[in-house]
Amino acid sequence: MAGALEVAFGAGGSVVTAFAPGRVNLIGEHTDYNEGFVLPMAIEAGIEMAGRPRAGREVRVHAADLGESVAFSLGAPIRPDPAHRWSNYVRGVLWALGRSGVALSGMELAFGGNLPQGAGLSSSAALEVATGLAARALLGFSMDLPRLARICQESENEFVGVKVGIMDPFVSLAARAGHAVFLDCRTLASEQVPLALGEHLIAICDSGVKHALVASEYNLRRRQCAAGVEALRARDPGIRALRDASLEALEACRPELDEVVYRRCRHVVTENARVLESKSALGKGDLRRFGELMDASHASLRDDYEVSCEEVDLLVDLARRRPGVLGARITGGGFGGCTVNLVARGAVESLGEEVLGEYQRRTGIAARLYLSGAADGARLR
């Protein structure tokens, strides 16, 4: 990526290079912004960013994959750019760093990667994390991992305008090869969970579907969850978030809830329980039970949280019918994107040929299959 930096902005200066991986969430969807539990892993694909200092107060950014560049001054408030929306993920991190007290100065940045956008593999968080790491190296400030993850989350929440949780930037920063990350999204306490999959693999299928309504529907789900918490708290002031609610408490409150709000809350409450059981199942090497929990997660996301779509449901159903597939579910924000599958090594070829082939015959869409081990988190290269 250093070469792309020089092509875009000329030679000269000492260059730092940061890499941030994407992630696939094994289970625990839409629980993070409800202060619950998640179990993601980093994947090998990601975003690489090269950066160098620049005299003065101007920041220049080049998106190598798009062949586009932007520039903005730190002498004025950093604002979103509606014409180059990709740049808002970079601008937002610098905005959040500046707001936190970091002294910003001019720099030149160039980035690119192999994470498909809109596939639910967290390309936005990877770009934010890569920006944060590069900026930390260039500006020389100190900031621990949880705070840097919060900076990335604040950037997307308040600058980009998507009310994401902490999971994506945290796992991009904290992951270790061969492990999933069990994260308590309230306390940010985390645990590295060994992924001893034996003769099984994690297979990711990109449905090829990208729906434009993800951001608005995502924010709507957050408001619906907040409405549920308000009703639950009226009965029990100790309930701060859906993470604090039991299924029994939710059922007791059901007459006071809008039916849609009730179903949204039911997904989150039951999904938190599935994450805790999944961690236990993986610890025991019980992959069959883990696969059943993945299946149950998809049904809940489809029926209660309503963030799946016809194409993704088809991809999940086709996979489940194949021998050797222990579990399949939608992963990421929803409304398209990817499925995550727990598959026997001997069934991967069948998944790639027969499942994706049938999917294309029915939808006309060429889905893609990715295999990835659990990768290391973000780092300077």
Closest to 245 (Cα-Cα) out of 234, 233, 227: 233
Q: Are strands 107-113 and 58-63 parallel, antiparallel or unpaired?
A: parallel
Are the C-beta atoms of residues 338 and 205 closer than 8 Å to each other?
yes
Distance CA 341, CA 205 (A): 8
Q: How many CB atoms lie within 10 A of CB 357?
A: 14
Partnered with residue 371 across adjacent β-strands are 203
Distance CA 41, CA 19 (A): 16
Q: Tell me, yes or no, if 168 is annotated catalytic.
A: yes
Q: Which two tokens stand for residue 222?
A: 């957050």
Cα torsion angle, 191, 203, 150, 240, sign: negative
Are the C-beta atoms of residues 330 and 27 closer than 8 Å to each other?
no
Distance CA 213, CA 303 (A): 18
Catalytic-labelled residue, pool 32, 168, 295, 304:
168
Q: Are strands 37-53 and 16-27 parallel, antiparallel or unpaired?
A: antiparallel
Catalogue the active-site residues: 168
